[in-house]
Amino acid sequence: MKTIAVAWTGASGLPYGLRLVDRLLAAGCQVWLMYSQAAQIVARQEADLVLPAQPREAQRLLAERFGDSAGRLKVFDRNDWNAPPASGSNPPDAYVICPCTMGTLAEVAAGTAKDLITRSADVVLKEGRMLILVPRETPFSAIHLENMLRLSRAGAVILPPNPGFYHRPADIGGLVDFVVARILDRLNVPHDLMPRWGADRG
């Protein structure tokens, strides 16, 4: 069973993060979830979701939302330095920050590790595990691009949520699934969110 760490930060795009956690749990993965204070504001704005400040309450709420009866979802406080992903002795198999603010991306690029969200990214990079950043911003400034290039050279995957249209999405859910499918592909987690390109050719 893969262990995937996920962080939600304060960029617009929480529906991507929610759908990602949902599909990871459906695929049988263990999910370690963290979220920033700004993400709590975005969750209310974009999903009418009130994320509790206490991890135990959040875990109970989200387990019910995602139907996680097996207890595979663990929620950690962003300031919990004793949480598993804070140490290279117990890193996740991969880590996805989705959505990722430019502030978070800059902190990861600088290696500041000021909280569990950015410390976990530092750990994953130094341990040679996969780090995926989903930056939801437009346009990108030269500073943003330089930070992304620095992280790419360090081994991170920069995966902006740019949905395609060749699968003819009928609604917002179809656009969200396109991006989440690309993340799951990178994680090598099976899914059925959309047909494979050319799969209908005999």
Q: What is the pLDDT of residues 25-42, one digit of tens each?
A: 999 999 999 999 999 999
Inside any domain, residue 8: yes
CA-based nearest residue to 120, from 88, 96, 86: 86
CB within 8 A of 81, min separation 6: which ones? 116, 119
pLDDT at 201 over 70: no
Domain containing residue 33? 3-187
The SS3 call for residue 202 is: coil
As to burial, measured by CB atoms within 10 angstroms (0-12 exposed, 13-18 middle, 19+ buried), residue 47 is middle
Number of domains in the chain: 1
Q: Report the pLDDT averaged over residues 129-134.
A: 98
Locate 31 and state its tokens. Answer: 């999910």
Inside any domain, residue 124: yes
Residues 184, 193: Cα–Cα separation, whole Å: 10
Q: What is the CATH number of the domain that holds 77?
A: 3.40.50.1950
Percent helix, strand, coil in the chain (nearest 5)? 45, 15, 40
Inside any domain, residue 152: yes
Q: Which amino acid belongs to residue 190?
A: P
Q: What is the pLDDT of residues 83-96, one digit of tens each?
A: 999 999 999 999 99
Inside any domain, residue 198: no
CB within 8 A of 124, min separation 6: which ones? 5, 85, 91, 92, 94, 95, 130, 131
Inside any domain, residue 22: yes
pLDDT at 198 over 80: no
Inside any domain, residue 194: no
Locate 182 and state its tokens. Answer: 């690309």
Inside any domain, residue 162: yes
Find the DSSP H helices in 54-166.
55-66, 102-110, 116-126, 142-153
Inside any domain, residue 193: no
- Inter-residue contact 134 to 161 (CB < 8 Å): yes
Residues 34, 74: Cα–Cα separation, whole Å: 9
Residue 197: pLDDT band with limits 50, 70, 90: confident
Q: What is the pLDDT of residues 72-81, one digit of tens each?
A: 999 999 999 9
